[in-house]
Chains A and B, each alone.
Chain A
Amino acid sequence: DTGVSQDPRHKITKRGQNVTFRCDPISEHNRLYWYRQTLGQGPEFLTYFQNEAQLEKSRLLSDRFSAERPKGSFSTLEIQRTEQGDSAMYLCASSIYRTEGEKLFFGSGTQLSVL
């Protein structure tokens, strides 16, 4: 169990550019979540995968955002035509349902700064 990995840790980009983040969940976990967090706030749900199926997307997720999870393993989150308001920490979490409960495990996040 190597934990949830996210890459890159930091990304600085200019407004209008596209960015892509990667998340590698814990290998046995079939559920994967993307969250966005701004300073002083709790994580805000973006999207959720169960295996390779994207089961829910937040209304906050504009058409500039897209996420994939091919083959139900790693996931990517792409933001097209970035805006300054996209600056935030993007967090990935994974989980697996067990009878004792579903515990979320988070990665270290990708800090995005849009200039």
Chain B
Amino acid sequence: EIVLTQSPRTLSLSPGERATLSCRASQNVSTGYLAWYQQKPGQAPSLLVYGVSSRGIGIPGRFEGIGSGTDFALTISRLEPEDFAVYYCQQFGGSPPFTFGPGTRVDV
């Protein structure tokens, strides 16, 4: 099973600032199999980025995913009020189980 570790667990920032979230995998993850999700309180997770760097439908350009192998990152260039949420990385790997990281909370 591929274990995903996210850091930091909490990021305290202000609107307009830049956020950088890290995701490290215990084994190599192919590019197509790494995604990021955003979750707001009381809501289901929603797709942000897939294939490491492709944004989902309607996702603004301030969200950027990068990385390869075992090290990945999600950058939010300028935080908007609606971006304060929890972010999860997730991998499909070559076989199940398909795992998620523990999440990074971005708060004010």
A and B associate: no
